[in-house]
Structure 1
Amino acid sequence: MNIRGVAALGTVGVLAGLLGGCGIRATQVPTDFGPAPSMVPCELSSTDITVQATPSGVPVEVFLLCSGRLARVNRSVLVPDIGDEAKRRLLVAQGLLDALAGKPSGAEDEAGYSTAVPAGVRVSGARSGEPEDALRLSTAPDALPKYALAQIVCTFADSAAAEGDGSVVLGGPGDGSLRRYECTAEVQSSPGDEKPPSSEVGGS
C-alpha cells in the first residue's frame, strides 16, 4: 500500500475514534415512526375480555376478524328461561347475529378486531319438512360477503344454535334449498379466500 493510502486509513481511524469518544454514532439517522403501539394486535387482556360479559346474559363466543383471520371473542346473549328448546335455540342464534353485527369495543378496535356482518340480519327456524336444526337467514347466505358468512358459520357451528359437530344448516328467506356449511381450519385462517365448504341438505 502506498503512503497516500496509509495516510487516508489513519485519518478515518482518527475520525472514528473521535466520534466514538464523544458518544456520537457515525451513522445516526433521525427517524420518526410515531408512538409505540399500546396493544399487541389480536391480543386482549383479561380485563378487556371480562368487560364484554353481561352478568345477566349467557356467556358465548363469537368470531370476529383480526389480521385477516377469524378470532374468538367473548360476548353475552340474553336468553329467557323457556322450556321450548327450538325457540331457545332461535333466540341464541339471533343473539349471536346481533353480537356479530355489533361494533367492537374500544379495546377490541385498538387491537385490530372488526366485523363484516351487516346489522339487521334476522334468523328463523326450520319450515315444515325441513331438518329441525335448520336456520334461515333474512339475507341469503350466498348474498353475504365471504368474511361475514365465515363469521356466521363458525359462530353458529360452535354454539348451542347448531348440533355441535362443526357445521350448521343455513338457508335464505325464500324457498331456496338448505345447505350444511362447515367451519374448517382453512375457513378460520383465510375467511376471505373462499366461502365455507357446503353441501345441499334435503328435507326430513
Structure 2
Amino acid sequence: MRRRTFRRTAGAGALAAAALAVSVTGCGIRTTSVPVDAGAAPSRVPCSTATGGATGSPVQGVPVRVFLVCGAQLEAVDRRSPLPEEKAGGDPVRTAGGLLAQLLAEPSESERQAGFTSAVRGPLVVSGGHSGDPAGTLRLSRQPEDLAPTALSQLVCTFAESSAGAGGHTVLLGGPGAYEPKRYRCTTELRERPESAPPTAPASAPATAPTTAPAATATG
C-alpha cells in the first residue's frame, strides 16, 4: 500500500511539473537555464557635437552654419568653410555654393556619432539667377520640387539663414528651366518636420509676412 501511494504521489508531481511548463510556454516565455544579456538600454541620440578640436589645434576656415538631419528634425551644425573670408560672405552665389558643398559632404565622425545625416545628394550645383529674376535669386541645376523633400528643406533653411538668403528667413530659389523662382521660407514647423513641403510664395512677395490689421468696429 505504501509503494502505491508513493508512486501515485510521484506521478502527480510529474504531471504538475509538465502542466507548469506548458503554462509558461503558452504565455510566450521561453524557459532557459542560461542567463540572457539583453545589453544596455538604448540611448537617446544627442544631436550635438563637441566644440573645438580634440588636439587643441586651431580650426582653419570661415565659420558657417548648415542644417543637417538628426532625430527626424533639422538641427543647425557649425562647420568651417575653406573659402577665404572676403569671398565667403560677399557674394551670395559663392556663399550658397560653399554651403551646398558642406551639405553634399559626408558628416564627420563626431557628427555621425551624434546622429547627424544629410539627405542632399549630388550631382547638384547652384548658380545665380536668370535675366529678369529678382535680385538675390539662386538657381539649382535641378528643379527644387524634384529634390527629396528633406533635402530641399535642408537647402532652404541653410540658404535662408545665411547671407545667401533674401531676408526674413527666406531664400529666392529656382531651377534650371524657365520656371519663375519662388520665395521659400524656413519655419519652425519645417525644421520640426523636414519631410513636409517648404512654404512658398511668389518671388515678388515681401520677405516678411504682412501683419493683419484688426478689423474696425462699427459704431453708431
Tell me which interval the TM-score lies in, with the shorter structure as reference length: 0.7 to 0.9
Q: Which residue is equivalent to 2:74?
A: 70
Give 1:47 deviation, angstroms.
3.8
Alignment-mate amino acid for residue 177 of structure 1 = E
**Match for residue 119 of structure 1 among 119, 122, 126:** 122
Give 1:66 deviation, angstroms.
0.3
Alignment-mate amino acid for residue 96 of structure 2 = A
1:42 and 2:47 are equivalent in the alignment: yes
1:134 and 2:150 are equivalent in the alignment: no
- Looking at CA atoms only, which structure, 1 or 2, has the larger radius of gyration? 2
- % identical equivalent positions: 43
Q: Is the 8 A contact 1:49 1:73 kept in 2?
A: no
More off after superposition, 194-203 vs 159-168: 194-203
- TM-score, length of structure 1 as denominator length: 0.73
More off after superposition, 137-146 vs 32-41: 32-41
In the alignment of these two chains, the number of paired residues is 170
Alignment-mate amino acid for residue 41 of structure 1 = P
- CA distance, structure 1, for counterparts of residue 55 and residue 102 of structure 2: 15
Alignment-mate amino acid for residue 124 of structure 1 = S
CA-based RMSD of the aligned residues comes to 2.9
C-alpha distance after superposition, 1:105-128 (max 9, x if no partner): 111111111000013311111222
1:59 and 2:77 are equivalent in the alignment: no
Alignment-mate amino acid for residue 196 of structure 1 = P
Give 1:39 deviation, angstroms.
8.3
Secondary structure of 1:108's match? helix
Superposed, which structure 2 residues align to 1:1-204 within 5 Å? 30-34=35-39, 40-47=45-52, 54-55=59-60, 57-80=61-84, 81=86, 85=90, 88-192=91-195, 194-202=196-204
Alignment-mate amino acid for residue 159 of structure 1 = S
Q: Which residue is equivalent to 2:18?
A: none
**Structure 1 residues 49, 161: CA separation in 2 closer, same or farther (over 3 Å shift)?**
farther
Secondary structure of 1:97's match? helix
More off after superposition, 63-72 vs 39-48: 39-48
Give 1:45 deviation, angstroms.
2.0
Q: Which residue is equivalent to 2:4?
A: none
Give structure 1 stretches of 5+ with no counterpart.
1-28
Give structure 2 stretches of 5+ with no counterpart.
1-33, 206-220
- CA distance, structure 1, for counterparts of residue 52 and residue 40 of structure 2: 23
**Structure 1 residues 176, 105: CA separation in 2 closer, same or farther (over 3 Å shift)?**
same
**Structure 1 residues 43, 142: CA separation in 2 closer, same or farther (over 3 Å shift)?**
same
Q: Is the 8 A contact 1:49 1:74 kept in 2?
A: no
- CA distance, structure 2, for counterparts of residue 50 and residue 185 of structure 1: 36
